[in-house]
Amino acid sequence: MPELDFCIDMGECPLSATPINHVFLTHAHGDHARCLMRHHSLRKMMGVERDSAYYVPESIYEGAKAWIKAEAMFEGVSEAKFRYPQIVPVSAHKRFFLEYRKDLALETFEVKHSVPTMGGTLYFYKRKLKDEFLGKTPAELIELRKQNVEITREVYEPLVSFTGDCLGESLLQNKEIFKSKVLITECTFLDDGEEQMAHQKGHTHIADIVHALNELDGEVECDKIILNHFSMKYAEKHIREKIAQVIPEKFSEKVVALL
Ligand SMILES: [Zn+2]
Ligand SMILES: [Zn+2]
């Protein structure tokens, strides 16, 4: 998401991702993490001096450091020259501002997958005039400020939530994600009869998404719900048809596939 200077996972690293200053790894699986150091080295090659902030769940922080160092050693970097990139361990349910964007805050939560995994919500931060001062003139507001009256309040607006890889039940366990403008969630399996397999593999079946939407109904505030991470066995046409077929009509404008 270049406009938010934020990237969810780094399983691939297209050149277009290199300017992005914040990367969050949801978990350690290769399709989500393997190009993290490619991102780091492409930036160095292109002369970007600023280090990206690489956020990782605290449970994989030590493993990530060991992996990054081992990869550098494997490539022949000497011990003396080796330097870690900026890796930041993240714990669940603690909201913090992004390193280079003081208007954006991230809060993560744990989801169920076959390995430790975190989803997150990015919030747009701003200060708003408190309700009791609405309607005051600028002169009155200036006067109040002079008297050290706090006339504003903090507002955190949920912009984007993402789940990483997860079981479908993680959606309802973290239902505040449906208050974000955009929700990005995995939908690995689609076909009838694959529900059990999805569960065994720690992934979401589209029936889980339909279930969550029906359960929450009026509580769904998202403008868009973006489904991704479809199993490679499905053709694009099949994915689009299946979504059109099973997503309840009420939500059909909101739910889109990222292919
Ligand atoms: Zn995974
Ligand atoms: Zn995956």
Q: What is the distance in A from the centroid of ligand 1 to the CA of 186?
A: 10
Q: Give the C-alpha separation, 208 to 189, whole Å.
A: 10
Q: For every one of its 259 residues, what pLDDT tens digit does the chain have, with 9 covering 90 and above?
A: 999 999 999 999 999 999 999 999 999 999 999 999 999 999 999 999 999 999 999 999 999 999 999 999 999 999 999 999 999 999 999 999 999 999 999 999 999 999 999 999 999 999 999 999 999 999 999 999 999 999 999 999 999 999 999 999 999 999 999 999 999 999 999 999 999 999 999 999 999 999 999 999 999 999 999 999 999 999 999 999 999 999 999 999 999 999 9
The count of other CB atoms within 10 Å of the CB of residue 254 is: 16
Q: What is the distance in A from the centroid of ligand 1 to the CA of 213?
A: 23
Q: Which ligand is nearest to the CA of 112?
A: 1
pTM here is: 0.93
Q: Which ligand is nearest to the CA of 231?
A: 2
Q: What is the distance in A from the centroid of ligand 2 to the CA of 130?
A: 43
Q: What is the distance in A from the centroid of ligand 2 to the CA of 60?
A: 16
Q: Which ligand is nearest to the CA of 187?
A: 2
Q: Give the C-alpha separation, 43 to 63, whole Å.
A: 23
User: What pLDDT shows up at residue 135?
Assistant: 92
Q: Which ligand is nearest to the CA of 117?
A: 1
**Taking a C-beta distance cutoff of 8 angstroms, is the pair 220, 177 a contact?**
no
